[in-house]
Amino acid sequence: MHPEVKLARQSTINIVLNEEKNKSVIGREKRVESHSAAPFQRIDQYFSKVIGLEDLKKQIKEIYAQVLVSEKRQELGLKSNLQVLHMIFKGNPGTGKTTIARMVSELFKEVGVLEKGHFTEVDRSDLVGEYIGHTAKKTKDVIRKALGGVLFIDEAYSLARGGEKDFGKEAIDTIVKCMEDHHDELIIILAGYPEEMDHFLTINPGLASRFPIQLDFSNYEAVELLKIAKVMLEDREYCMTKETERRLYLHLYRMSMRPGANFSNARYVRNLLEEAIRKHAWRIICGSNLKKAALMTLEPDDFSECLHQDNS
Ligand SMILES: Nc1ncnc2c1ncn2[C@@H]1O[C@H](COP(=O)(O)OP(=O)(O)O)[C@@H](O)[C@H]1O
Ligand SMILES: [Mg+2]
């Protein structure tokens, strides 16, 4: 039998139905009790504006399935089978790590895995102190504030910078200790560049087993970057002419193919679009066409030089 049918909700978990179109990816939505027989529809809907990352979406569904089964088991007097949900997100800049972590915290609040579902983003400087004892206090304070939600530690590998004598080590030890004390009260997500995170886990072998969910965020291909651009523009109620789209694709293709390029994936796209939106505003104000279509449509000239250089 299909798991979705077997796991038809009896009323205990809130499934959220998105009733409005064109909301931002991380928009607020109306909560309703549902007896839906298709719990994964909610996840698909939730991630509908997230381009690519199919493995990740599947893994989130697996976790969700586990949450549902665990709850069903408890209802029938069986032991909960819910494992720890701490995660490691490996990926280059702009591949969606922070965005997905934020979404996970909201989703897990909705399905009852997290009590509060608030999102706390920190980096080394928020955890590591300047003198002995300072780091443990700083780290504990951060964890206390994050209880009930997701604690997202960006560039987590930098905690291993400086080796044994560095206070970063104290932060790691404090995190591990707190994970034991508050094991089901928060989800910790460690994020960073793939190579650095792999190295970090090698020199802290105990950590890998405490973070059983490891998700890889690959660099996007040009066709995905173009889709991301379209989603971003749609969200802002803008669009592109066919020629703009063609040139943008060419440019993104070249950028994504440049070997060893310091290319920030979807963040690069966002910056490019924001610049284009500013240039578009300037063009519109200097011109005379204030019709709706003109106010929405980005032309190739609205983009910086780079879009034209690629068009040879
Ligand atoms: N798969 C995706 N689909 C749609 N937008 C995305 C995707 N990945 C990233 N973005 C967007 O790109 C920008 C940068 O993403 P971010 O989560 O900050 O990346 P990271 O934390 O990996 O550096 C954000 O505006 C985000 O919404
Ligand atoms: Mg980030």
- Which ligand has an atom closest to residue 264 CA? 1
Are residues 234 and 178 located together in one domain of the fold?
no
Pick the last residue of a domain from 203, 218, 233: 218
**Ligand 1, atom nearest to 92 Cα:** 22
Residues 206-232 have a mean pLDDT of 94
Are residues 46 and 100 located together in one domain of the fold?
no
Residues 100-128 have a mean pLDDT of 94
Which of 54-68, 111-125, 233-247 comes out lowest in average pLDDT?
54-68
Are residues 203 and 296 located together in one domain of the fold?
no
Task: Determine the residue of 267, 268, 270 to mutate for testing ligand 1's pocket, defined as the one with the most ligand atoms within 8 A of the Cβ atom.
Answer: 267
Give me the pLDDT at residue 11, please.
28
Handedness of CA 121, 126, 132, 137 (dihedral sign): negative
Quickly state the pLDDT bin for 20 (edges 50, 70, 90): very low
pLDDT tens readout for residues 78-87: 988 778 899 9
Give me the pLDDT at residue 12, please.
31
Tell which wins on pLDDT, 51 or 15.
51
Give me the pLDDT at residue 187, please.
95
Environment of ion ligand 2 (residues, CB < 5 A): 98
Are residues 267 and 301 located together in one domain of the fold?
yes
Residue 284 burial (CB count, 10 A) = 16
Q: Which domain holds residue 120?
A: 83-218
Are residues 3 and 88 located together in one domain of the fold?
no
Q: Which residues line ligand 1 (CB under 6 A)?
A: 50-53, 91, 93-99, 228, 231, 266-267, 270
Give me the pLDDT at residue 262, please.
74
* Two structure tokens written together for 297: 């449509």
Give me the pLDDT at residue 261, please.
63
Are residues 213 and 87 located together in one domain of the fold?
yes
Are residues 71 and 156 located together in one domain of the fold?
no
301 DSSP 8-state letter: G
Give the whole-angstrom CA distance, residue 98 versus residue 50. 13
Computed over every residue of the chain, the mean pLDDT equals 85
Are residues 162 and 88 located together in one domain of the fold?
yes
Residues 254-264 have a mean pLDDT of 82
**Ligand 1, atom nearest to 89 Cα:** 22
Is residue 105's pLDDT more than 90? yes
E-strand stretches of 125-202 = 150-153, 187-192
Looking at the structure of the chain, the number of domains it has is 3
Pick the last residue of a domain from 218, 233, 257: 218
Is residue 21's pLDDT more than 60? no
